[in-house]
Amino acid sequence: MPTAKMDYYAGMLFYSKTASGHDLILDADPSVGGKDAGHRPKELLLYALMGCTGMDVVSLLKKMKVIDRMESFRMELDYEVSQDHPKVYTKLHLKYIFKFNGEPPREQVEKAVNLSQDKYCGVSAMLKKAIPEFSWEIVYEE
């Protein structure tokens, strides 16, 4: 079984060399003893979600041979956090925002997003079990 490892340095600073060989630095806000020298652990969940599903969508659109028509693709994630401890995400709404040359291939985009959300993205699958309100939409820019 693989093992993830992380070392404590000082203050609220933690460091890890991830299994994929990349550096990961976690830290906290100075108001709680950190030096703002790294990512916040909980916010990484949001970026993990967008990275996971975004990579799925790009891979699927490549297989569907419509990626060459895509001018841009980005995601925005609106979220709410509980007021009481433990402060957890209570609502996530993910926007997939696309811009294509000409008419967007809506059927393929919808299929790619739905496959990511319903079948492939492990981060989505885990978060859906933990977050009461989890939704997404596809937006096309002119």
Distance CA 81, CA 91 (A): 7
**For range 108-131, the mean pLDDT:** 98
Domain with CATH 2.20.25 in the chain: 1-39
Residue ranges, CATH 3.30.300.20, the chain: 41-141
DSSP calls for 26-42: E---GGGT--S-SB-HH
CATH class of 41-141: alpha beta
Q: Cβ distance 119 to 56 under 8 Å?
A: no
Q: Which CATH class is domain 1-39?
A: mainly beta
What tens digit of pLDDT does each residue of 11-65 get? 999 999 999 999 999 999 999 999 999 999 999 999 999 999 999 999 999 999 9
Cis peptide leading into residue 86 (ω within 30°):
yes
**Alpha-carbon distance 118 to 124, whole Å?**
8
Each residue's pLDDT tens digit, 69-117: 999 999 999 999 999 999 999 999 999 999 999 999 999 999 999 999 9
Facing residues of 74 across strands?
97
